[in-house]
Amino acid sequence: MNTVYKFSSDKDIKDWHIVDDVVMGGRSHGSFFLNADGNGVFAGEVSLKNKGGFSSVRYPIGALNLQGATKIILRIHGDGKDYQFRVKEKSSDSHSYTATFNTSGHWEEITILLNALTPTYRGKSLDKPNFSAQTLEEIVFLIANKKAETFALIIDSIKLE
Protein backbone atom coordinates (compact mmCIF):
# COMPACT_ATOMS: atom_id res chain seq x y z
CA MET A 1 0.00 0.00 0.00
CA ASN A 2 1.36 3.41 -1.02
CA THR A 3 0.52 6.39 1.19
CA VAL A 4 -0.55 9.43 -0.83
CA TYR A 5 -1.04 11.64 2.23
CA LYS A 6 -0.95 10.95 5.98
CA PHE A 7 -1.97 13.78 8.25
CA SER A 8 -0.08 14.48 11.47
CA SER A 9 0.32 17.40 13.85
CA ASP A 10 3.63 18.41 12.24
CA LYS A 11 2.30 18.44 8.63
CA ASP A 12 2.25 21.71 6.74
CA ILE A 13 -1.19 21.87 5.10
CA LYS A 14 -0.72 25.19 3.27
CA ASP A 15 -1.09 23.45 -0.11
CA TRP A 16 -4.65 22.32 0.72
CA HIS A 17 -7.01 25.00 -0.69
CA ILE A 18 -10.68 25.66 -0.10
CA VAL A 19 -12.83 26.38 -3.16
CA ASP A 20 -16.43 27.29 -2.33
CA ASP A 21 -19.39 28.31 -4.44
CA VAL A 22 -18.45 31.96 -3.74
CA VAL A 23 -16.48 31.71 -7.02
CA MET A 24 -19.96 31.73 -8.66
CA GLY A 25 -21.66 34.14 -6.24
CA GLY A 26 -22.76 31.56 -3.65
CA ARG A 27 -22.51 31.89 0.12
CA SER A 28 -21.06 28.55 1.29
CA HIS A 29 -18.01 28.60 3.52
CA GLY A 30 -15.53 25.81 4.15
CA SER A 31 -12.31 25.66 6.14
CA PHE A 32 -9.43 23.22 6.44
CA PHE A 33 -7.24 22.76 9.50
CA LEU A 34 -5.45 20.21 11.65
CA ASN A 35 -7.27 19.11 14.81
CA ALA A 36 -5.61 18.29 18.15
CA ASP A 37 -5.04 14.68 17.00
CA GLY A 38 -3.20 15.83 13.86
CA ASN A 39 -6.00 14.91 11.42
CA GLY A 40 -7.11 17.13 8.56
CA VAL A 41 -10.56 18.62 9.12
CA PHE A 42 -12.70 19.88 6.24
CA ALA A 43 -15.63 21.68 7.85
CA GLY A 44 -18.06 24.50 7.24
CA GLU A 45 -21.50 25.35 5.99
CA VAL A 46 -23.14 24.84 2.62
CA SER A 47 -25.61 27.54 1.63
CA LEU A 48 -28.09 27.49 -1.25
CA LYS A 49 -28.29 31.30 -1.37
CA ASN A 50 -27.41 32.97 -4.68
CA LYS A 51 -27.56 29.60 -6.48
CA GLY A 52 -24.78 28.20 -4.31
CA GLY A 53 -24.49 24.73 -2.89
CA PHE A 54 -20.93 23.39 -2.59
CA SER A 55 -17.68 23.55 -0.70
CA SER A 56 -14.46 21.72 -1.52
CA VAL A 57 -10.88 21.27 -0.40
CA ARG A 58 -8.23 20.59 -3.06
CA TYR A 59 -4.71 19.29 -2.92
CA PRO A 60 -2.27 19.43 -5.86
CA ILE A 61 -0.17 16.26 -5.64
CA GLY A 62 2.14 16.84 -8.55
CA ALA A 63 2.33 13.88 -10.96
CA LEU A 64 1.48 10.88 -8.76
CA ASN A 65 2.31 7.60 -10.52
CA LEU A 66 -0.58 5.13 -10.25
CA GLN A 67 1.14 2.18 -11.90
CA GLY A 68 -0.15 -1.03 -10.36
CA ALA A 69 -2.77 0.74 -8.20
CA THR A 70 -6.44 -0.16 -8.60
CA LYS A 71 -8.04 1.65 -5.67
CA ILE A 72 -7.85 4.58 -3.30
CA ILE A 73 -8.46 3.98 0.39
CA LEU A 74 -9.63 6.90 2.52
CA ARG A 75 -9.42 6.66 6.31
CA ILE A 76 -12.01 9.19 7.43
CA HIS A 77 -14.47 10.11 10.15
CA GLY A 78 -17.52 11.76 8.69
CA ASP A 79 -20.76 13.18 9.98
CA GLY A 80 -23.22 10.83 8.29
CA LYS A 81 -23.39 12.96 5.13
CA ASP A 82 -22.49 12.21 1.52
CA TYR A 83 -19.25 13.56 0.08
CA GLN A 84 -17.50 13.33 -3.25
CA PHE A 85 -13.92 12.30 -3.79
CA ARG A 86 -12.51 13.71 -7.03
CA VAL A 87 -9.28 13.37 -8.95
CA LYS A 88 -7.82 15.11 -11.96
CA GLU A 89 -5.34 13.47 -14.28
CA LYS A 90 -3.92 16.93 -15.00
CA SER A 91 -4.61 19.87 -12.72
CA SER A 92 -5.34 21.99 -15.81
CA ASP A 93 -8.22 19.68 -16.86
CA SER A 94 -11.64 21.31 -16.64
CA HIS A 95 -13.31 18.01 -15.74
CA SER A 96 -12.79 15.72 -12.75
CA TYR A 97 -13.33 12.03 -12.10
CA THR A 98 -15.72 11.55 -9.22
CA ALA A 99 -17.08 9.02 -6.73
CA THR A 100 -19.69 9.77 -4.07
CA PHE A 101 -19.36 8.12 -0.67
CA ASN A 102 -21.50 8.14 2.45
CA THR A 103 -20.03 8.55 5.91
CA SER A 104 -21.21 6.65 8.98
CA GLY A 105 -20.34 9.06 11.78
CA HIS A 106 -17.50 6.75 12.89
CA TRP A 107 -13.92 6.11 11.81
CA GLU A 108 -13.96 4.00 8.66
CA GLU A 109 -12.05 3.11 5.53
CA ILE A 110 -13.72 4.02 2.26
CA THR A 111 -12.43 2.10 -0.77
CA ILE A 112 -12.87 3.68 -4.20
CA LEU A 113 -11.92 1.75 -7.33
CA LEU A 114 -9.95 3.99 -9.68
CA ASN A 115 -11.78 2.65 -12.75
CA ALA A 116 -15.14 3.45 -11.08
CA LEU A 117 -14.38 7.21 -10.98
CA THR A 118 -16.76 8.83 -13.47
CA PRO A 119 -16.07 12.01 -15.48
CA THR A 120 -17.98 15.14 -14.46
CA TYR A 121 -17.90 18.86 -15.10
CA ARG A 122 -19.69 21.23 -12.71
CA GLY A 123 -21.78 18.37 -11.36
CA LYS A 124 -22.86 17.05 -14.77
CA SER A 125 -21.85 13.63 -16.08
CA LEU A 126 -19.75 13.64 -19.23
CA ASP A 127 -19.87 11.21 -22.14
CA LYS A 128 -16.28 10.03 -21.63
CA PRO A 129 -14.76 6.79 -20.33
CA ASN A 130 -14.18 6.32 -16.61
CA PHE A 131 -10.78 7.14 -15.12
CA SER A 132 -7.97 5.08 -16.66
CA ALA A 133 -4.92 7.34 -16.38
CA GLN A 134 -1.56 6.20 -15.02
CA THR A 135 -1.00 9.46 -13.12
CA LEU A 136 -3.05 12.06 -11.30
CA GLU A 137 -2.19 15.58 -10.22
CA GLU A 138 -5.03 16.71 -7.93
CA ILE A 139 -7.35 15.26 -5.31
CA VAL A 140 -10.50 16.93 -3.99
CA PHE A 141 -13.08 16.36 -1.27
CA LEU A 142 -16.40 18.08 -2.02
CA ILE A 143 -19.80 18.36 -0.41
CA ALA A 144 -22.81 19.29 -2.56
CA ASN A 145 -25.98 17.57 -1.34
CA LYS A 146 -28.45 20.16 -2.71
CA LYS A 147 -29.35 21.36 0.77
CA ALA A 148 -28.19 23.93 3.29
CA GLU A 149 -26.18 22.13 5.98
CA THR A 150 -23.16 22.27 8.22
CA PHE A 151 -20.50 19.61 7.66
CA ALA A 152 -17.33 18.14 9.10
CA LEU A 153 -15.13 15.49 7.50
CA ILE A 154 -12.02 14.36 9.40
CA ILE A 155 -9.30 12.84 7.22
CA ASP A 156 -6.52 10.64 8.59
CA SER A 157 -4.97 9.26 5.39
CA ILE A 158 -5.27 8.68 1.67
CA LYS A 159 -3.61 5.55 0.26
CA LEU A 160 -3.25 3.71 -3.02
CA GLU A 161 -3.46 -0.03 -3.28
- Indicate the pairing of strand 82-88 with strand 40-46: unpaired
pLDDT digits (tens, 9 = 90+) for 63-85: 999 999 999 999 999 999 999 99
Over pLDDT 90: what percentage of the chain? 95
Question: Which H or E element spans position 86?
Answer: strand 82-88
Q: Distance between CA atoms of 59 and 70, rounded to whole angstroms?
A: 20
Residue 23: the pLDDT is 81
pLDDT at 92 over 90: yes
Residue 44: the pLDDT is 98
Q: Where are the domains of the chain?
A: 2-160
pLDDT at 1 over 80: no
Nearest to 7 by CA among 48, 38, 33, 36: 38
Q: What is the CATH number of domain 2-160?
A: 2.60.120.430
Confidence of residue 122 (pLDDT cuts 50, 70, 90): confident
Residue 4: the pLDDT is 95
Q: What's the CA angle centered on 64, arms 31 and 159, to 5 degrees?
A: 65
State the average pLDDT over residues 103-114. 98
pLDDT at 123 over 90: no
Alpha helices in 31-96, H assignment, sequence order: none
